[in-house]
Structure 1
Amino acid sequence: MIGKAVCGVLAAAALAACSSGDPKLLNLTSTTEGPDEFAIVPNKPLQAPDTYASLPTPTPGGFNRSDASPEAEAIIALGGRPEALNDIPGTDAAIVNTVTRYGVTPNIRATLAAEDLEFRRKNDGRLLERLFNVSVYFKAYRRMSLDQYAELERFRRLGVRTPAAPPQPQ
């Protein structure tokens, strides 16, 4: 009986030793240095023109009517007027200066990647979770998650206008 228990412990240890040193919470791999936060941008709805003859000639790298205009949309979201960009020369520099007025960490991606790797190493699951490759992502990051419905209610109690939100799942 003791011999079987020792063999079981040795087998579990051998399997645990086969894992890589980099815990992957959702078992995702990336081919780049890090995520590209701006890679997924929703497009505007497609529209059919009145006549196809009235369409301008396509230009490589040119403007597309279905493309999002993130700069103007960000200005609108912050309560500004996008047409003011045409009035003020060097507006981009002014925006960048305002946003970075408290300083910038030049190697923020590397810093965050190192901190996240350390966090994942500390929260890589129990022995059987690692052994059976069970994702512990949501359990590890539970303390950092935001309850969107509680936050929505908090804003509403404060009198903040909140646009329509999806109903809370039952």
Structure 2
Amino acid sequence: MIAFKKSGLKWIGALALVAAVAGCDTSKGIGRFFAGGATDAGPDEFGIVPNKPLTLPDDLAALPEPAPGTRNRTDLLPEHDAVAALGGQPARLDSTTINSGEGPLLAAATRNGAAPEIREVLAKEDAQYREDNGPLFLQRLFKVDTYLQDYEDQTLKARRTNDLMRRSNVKTPSVSPQSDR
């Protein structure tokens, strides 16, 4: 009887150890549910950009009033720097006016009409759709993102569409090989 108790305790201890180690695995197994919904491997090292050195302007009275959400004089603007390096005009990135070269593109995009409040309408419809078709209890419990599942029937199937176009003798670009994931 005593031998059985010791053997049973060993089995229980071994199972507890396996469960504890499995709980630490945040890559694929059960441990990912206990990792607080973290799905990434850490910060994006390319998103960290050092600031320009601080400089004192010639005239402090000429500085604009500070306002929340505005740029700092020492903030780097990589997109602006890239446009300038390629010979473009970085100030046009911040412009909201329509330039002469953009007129034909805008005319083609709005040829069937355009709703100025389209973003607000879509956001409202999306919120209603997601509320009506929300995640199941276990998906909520384990913080599973169901966005792709919710819109599965509205997603263009690229490979199927490409195959259909090729069968219809429409020239299509090459497609990357399908991964086995």
TM-score by length of 1: 0.45
Higher relative contact order, chain-length normalized (CA < 8 Å, sep 6+) = 1
Specify which structure has the higher proportion of helix: 2
Instruction: Determine which structure has more spread, i.e. the larger CA radius of gyration.
Output: 2
